[in-house]
Chain A
Amino acid sequence: MPAVNQETTKGVTRYTPFHPRWYRPHVSVYWWLGEWHYLKFILRELSSVFVAVVVIETLFLLRALRHSPEAYAHFQQCMGNPLLIGLNIVSLFFVVFHTITWFNLAPSAMPVRVRGKRLPEVLVAAPSYVAWAMVSGFVCWLVLR
């Protein structure tokens, strides 16, 4: 009914401003709990928190090394705290989850084509896993030598 927005009084036409109503469905703060895909997405994003935890632990290791052999011994003693070991085991799950999701994402982000045909995703992701194994192996060898 156009007459609703348009009032005619005493021969003067007045318009009432048009207020569009946006369609904004209400989304709960817990929207990501309902479905596994959403939960997986949030868990993947939260893996970054555990990555940061590892960096902070590494900074403490460097601080101890910089200070003295006693400080390093104290660092080792602190890392033996069961709570910290528990946190680190949880962190390892998240960090490996990050690694796997990150490597598996690469074929979707960068499709590789050979002679116009897309390479299978496994072949694009595989070199990342090989690199991961080699770098990890080298670091372990260097530290444990």
Chain B
Amino acid sequence: MAKQSNEAFFWLLFSAGGVVAALLIPAQLFLFGIAFPLAWLQAPSFDHLMSLVRLPLVRVYLFVLCSLPLFHWAHRFRYTLYDGLKVKHLTGLIFILCYGGAVLGTVIAAYLLWTI
């Protein structure tokens, strides 16, 4: 009998995260990481951002933006460590660190967005 594998589930998270990262992350990074700090664009005020974050749809957007790309990272980083650095013997530890990190980030995002 073939061994049961959860690979399909993690792959689904990986590919969903890949789509979200491809679509949403560049704009997020460009605005908050480059354009506002370098004053290329006028940074939004605290009140304006808060009025956005209070909208339920924006919270869902931010939750998706934070959570799924982390699972995307976990999958890719895990295999990069296995293949790139050839550390297949640490499989269990790497798995826990990568997916543990993604779950932790998801929990933090959920907590922040729930209590903001």
Contacts and interface: CB of A to CB of B under 8 A. Distances in A.
Most buried by B among A49, A56, A139: A139
B85 to A, nearest CB: 6
B93 interface: no
B43 interface: yes
Main secondary structure of the interface of A (DSSP, over half): helix
Given A48-B72, A48-B76, A51-B73, A91 B22 contact: no
Contact of B49 (A46, A65, A92): A65
Interface residues of A, number: 51
Contacts of B31: 139-140, 143
Contacts of B38: 85
B72 A59 contact: no
Interface in A119-145: 128, 131-132, 135-136, 139-140, 142-145
B80 A95 contact: no
Interface in B53-72: 53, 62, 65-66, 69-70, 72
A32 B21 contact: no
A56 B32 CA distance: 12
Nearest to A103: B22
Given A95-B25, A102-B22, A88 B42 contact: no
Contacts of A32: 84
A48 B44 CA distance: 28
